[in-house]
Structure 1
Amino acid sequence: MVGKKTRETGRTILISSPKGGSGKSVLARHLLVSAAQAGLKPFGLDFDRQQTLTKWGARRDKTREAFPDFAATPIEAAELQNWRGALQRRNGYDLTIMDTPPSVEDHLPAIDGLGVAADLILVPAVCTQDDVEAVGPWIRMLTEKGFRAAVVLNRANRRTSSFARMRGALIKAGPVCPTEIPQLEDIHVPSIKGLTLLDYSKSRGIAPFEEIWTYVRREIGL
């Protein structure tokens, strides 16, 4: 059975959004590092043809050759057409993070299958009207299908007048993670070497990712 959870497969998180540029890969790599730093054995499955997460993982592997103290986060590229086979690669890992392309409407059977296999679906969304119009119906559909899912607000700025309005609209559509990822100018800088803000103990902006990890870990019982 595709969705059956076993000790061998551990926990699984699906990151999915119909909106491009929502921050799926940013969220995925920070969760992978969070899990590794917590002493877990994480694994990434990258279903996006652009392979943003896979390329980040390759840069991280190269960095770890010189600095092996950085936590290991193995990642493999996968095809949505072969999602059943890809799920078999989870065996032996404590937590699998699955990144997906934005064109979810073109791959609904595969996304549904991955959703069944997941303990939690995270839906990143930027606080704009365009994102709300795309993500609102998506999170509503996921919850109506019985999936455990939550929106994670990205590039959020509480000081803007639109933040509360956009957040409120998404809360009406479905569950929303209590911590958002703020607008951070340097969030992509560490990725050049396959790193994240979490890899630097004094990095600005580390707290939201620590809080999101705590929320996720509680939600999936890990």
Structure 2
Amino acid sequence: MSRSRGGGQRTILISSPKGGSGKSVLARHLLVSAAQAGLQSIGLDFDRQQTLTKWSMRRAQTRDAFPDFADVPVAPVVLQDWRASLRQANGYDLAVLDTPPSVEDHLPAIDGLARAANLVLVPAVCTQDDVEAVGPWIRSLTDKGFRAVVVLNRANRRTSSFARMRGTLIKAGPVCPTEIPQLEDIHVPAVKGLTLLDYSKSRGIAPFEEIWAFVRREIEL
């Protein structure tokens, strides 16, 4: 079972069996949301590609010139030593764990992280390939007693496939009521280690604010 809620640190695990689902995009927006809310947050990057770590390094360079941007530390860690890696989050209000897509190759470690987490977020693009991969994964997580929620990414409500894909995933497990839209603007700020949330008037900011509000309620933070 996932860790009981109450006082102390919160941990969010972001996990999906499908590459390109948007794990790092979701992780960095959650980290910035937490920092802007006055919470001490840290990202733990378990993915060997270190996408989240590289983003954080670019952010540190940007903050050298513009220190008003919130500090968002990210530590590169390894799944093989996940217990010790989790200790790097001691003293923080929130830890966001970004993981590699090949979950079937790391099931004991992913299960351990899920057990330590207050919530597992499973991003999924609205395609048949993603639904076929994510459906069984969210079902597996919930069957094991973990609190897990699908977050739809690159969603386009105007397409005929959106409702069908969303409906299929709802049958497999809980789905976040707000999805991440398909916007090129989401990736532009990442070049400088920033997010849409770092710009108060940026296009597409609302969905990330809503997802943060949803997650914060779910983990009682």
TM-score grouping bracket, smaller chain normalisation? over 0.9
Any conservation in 2 of the 1:5–1:117 contact (CA below 8 Å)? no
CA deviation profile, 1:129-169 (whole Å, cap 9, x unmatched): 00000000000000000000000000000000000000000
CA separation of 1:5 and 1:218: change in aligned 2, threshold 3 A: closer
Give the distance between the partners of 1:23 and 1:5, measured in 2 at CA. Answer: 26
**Residue of structure 2 equivalent to 1:127:** 126
SS of match in other structure, 2:11: strand
- Consecutive unaligned residues of structure 1, counting only runs of 5 or more, are none
**Residue of structure 1 equivalent to 2:42:** 43
- Consecutive unaligned residues of structure 2, counting only runs of 5 or more, are none
Query: By how many angstroms is 1:4 displaced?
Result: 7.4
Tell me which amino acid in the other structure corresponds to 1:34. S
Give the distance between the partners of 1:117 and 1:149, measured in 2 at CA. Answer: 13
**Residue of structure 2 equivalent to 1:165:** 164
Quick check: 1:78 aligned with 2:77?
A: yes
Query: By how many angstroms is 1:90 displaced?
Result: 1.2
Tell me which amino acid in the other structure corresponds to 1:92. G
Tell me which amino acid in the other structure corresponds to 1:163. F
Give the distance between the partners of 1:56 and 1:19, measured in 2 at CA. Answer: 21
SS of match in other structure, 1:65: helix
Identity score, percent: 80
Give the distance between the partners of 1:219 and 1:128, measured in 2 at CA. Answer: 26
SS of match in other structure, 1:186: helix
Query: By how many angstroms is 1:185 displaced?
Result: 1.4
Give the distance between the partners of 1:5 and 1:80, measured in 2 at CA. Answer: 24
Give the distance between the partners of 2:208 and 2:85, measured in 1 at CA. Answer: 27
CA deviation profile, 1:21-77 (whole Å, cap 9, x unmatched): 000000000000000000101000000000000000000011001111000110000
Quick check: 1:107 aligned with 2:106?
A: yes
Any conservation in 1 of the 2:120–2:146 contact (CA below 8 Å)? yes
How many equivalent residue pairs?
A: 220
**Residue of structure 2 equivalent to 1:154:** 153
Any conservation in 2 of the 1:154–1:182 contact (CA below 8 Å)? yes
Give the distance between the partners of 2:67 and 2:143, measured in 1 at CA. Answer: 44
**Residue of structure 2 equivalent to 1:16:** 15
CA separation of 1:221 and 1:4: change in aligned 2, threshold 3 A: closer
Any conservation in 2 of the 1:12–1:120 contact (CA below 8 Å)? yes
Any conservation in 1 of the 2:128–2:165 contact (CA below 8 Å)? yes
**Residue of structure 2 equivalent to 1:141:** 140
Any conservation in 1 of the 2:52–2:98 contact (CA below 8 Å)? yes
Structure-to-structure mapping, 1:173-184, within 5 angstroms: 173-184=172-183
- TM-score for the superposition, normalised by structure 2: 0.97
Give the distance between the partners of 1:87 and 1:21, measured in 2 at CA. Answer: 24
**Residue of structure 2 equivalent to 1:185:** 184
Structure-to-structure mapping, 1:191-210, within 5 angstroms: 191-210=190-209
Any conservation in 1 of the 2:4–2:118 contact (CA below 8 Å)? no
SS of match in other structure, 1:171: helix
- TM-score for the superposition, normalised by structure 1: 0.97
Give the distance between the partners of 1:162 and 1:6, measured in 2 at CA. Answer: 39
Give the distance between the partners of 1:141 and 1:103, measured in 2 at CA. Answer: 15
Any conservation in 1 of the 2:11–2:96 contact (CA below 8 Å)? yes
Give the distance between the partners of 1:44 and 1:16, measured in 2 at CA. Answer: 14
Give the distance between the partners of 1:79 and 1:4, measured in 2 at CA. Answer: 25
